[in-house]
Amino acid sequence: MGPLPTLAELRWNKAGALSIAAQIALALAILCNAMFVIHAQIALMTRPTGIDESDIFYIRSSLIGDQGTWASQEQADVAALRATAGVVDAYVTNSVPLTGSGGSVPISLRPDQVRPNTMAAIYLAGGDALRTLDLHLVAGRDFQPDEIGEFYPSHSGSARAPGAIIITQALARMLFPDGSALGRSIFIGLPSSSRIVGIVRQLQVPWTSASGWGSNFSEDSVLTPARLIDKDVLYVVRARPGQLPAAEKSAAAALRANDRMRTLDGPYAMKPTRAYAYRDDLGFSIFLAVVTWLLLGVTAAGIVGLTSYWVSRRRRQIGIRRALGATRGAIVGYFLGENLLIASAGIVAGTALTIGLNLWIAGAFGMAHIPVGYVLTGIVTLILLGQLGALWPAWRAASIPPAIAARSA
């Protein structure tokens, strides 16, 4: 049977056909955009930070005592951590990736710029950050001992720009597309300039949100040769491979032995830190996947139910066609073709709805526009779902003996 008689048959079942077409349109729009959002969330949750996450942990320390003792206390702490069994290196800083807290600075190429070129995360690196974090230089060098100074947050109003800085490769490419970043000078929110002496392959900013602070410069970071001198600091420690749990316990014990009056928070390994940082993104992805699967299930159930209903209403018609010589394959093909026409109408409407929904998502959450591949995958999925949903009722219809079907009212 051709498409014209099939369309004539569907005119007598307008409500059911429109209902299935609407379900398919809605399912297609949600499926395509859900796949796109979930893929974006997975890419966000699995992006590398640039540091040796498997062997690094950190401990937050809050000292008690006069400000004049903080520098010597921190030096003693770092020395104790480095002397701990299973530790490769350690240093004191303000932040590390995935922690959600830290500082940022405007980056400019000229001192008189009204608007900076970009923002960047600022990491106080001392002289040991590269070895501790296992950062890889792609150009230049590490800081020299005579370049390393001390930074007191309470004196930040009188801070001077460091003479030397290390930046990430992403920031270097953004500022100097011609590849000439090494040795150039930039301004990091202070009147005087800082010279780029090294470029590391990657160092993610501390913030992980896809649309919050840091999302527009997630790979742009600056390391400065400064030791943080403050009451509240972060000790970052890199353990030897396979010795992380033991090193965590020993490091915490070493810090407590140096000052039992202090408050310690940690140690925290980077793996659970990553899980905590992306907990909301993971929960949202799971929720979206479950809702999408439920919607597909409801759509398939609707197709099965409507096709079964049409079969029961046309038993006599099916029997007459079988008696006139129609094969089982012809009966099955008829119902599958009927379903394909309905699905095609739903897909046309669903494609328009998919694009409209994606435009709203892109505008509301700053996401990219959905690639064509996601729409094509959704269309194929809905067509297969519709055909599979109609197959069982169609096969039942083809299995009705002609004599029984012809006697049915």
Where are the chain's structural domains?
3-46+280-407, 64-261
Confidence (pLDDT) at 237: 96
Q: What is the value of pTM for the model shown? A: 0.79
Q: Which residues of 292-316 are buried (b: 16+ CB within 10 A; e: fewer)?
A: beebbeebbebbbebbbebbeebbe
- Strand bridging mode 263-269 / 56-62: antiparallel
Distance CA 91, CA 124 (A): 10
Confidence (pLDDT) at 322: 65
Confidence (pLDDT) at 389: 76
Confidence (pLDDT) at 134: 94
| Tokens describing residue 67 | 């400000």
* Residue ranges for the chain with pLDDT beneath 50: 1-8, 409
Confidence (pLDDT) at 2: 45
Chain segment 207-256, per-residue pLDDT in tens: 988 777 788 899 999 999 988 888 889 999 999 999 999 999 999 999 99
Quickly list DSSP for 308-374. HHHHHHTHHHHHHHHHTT--HHHHHHHHHHHHHHHHHHHHHHHHHHHHHHHHHHHHHH-PPPPPHHH
Q: Could you give the C-alpha distances from 373 to 52, 146, 370, in angstroms and in order?
A: 35, 55, 8
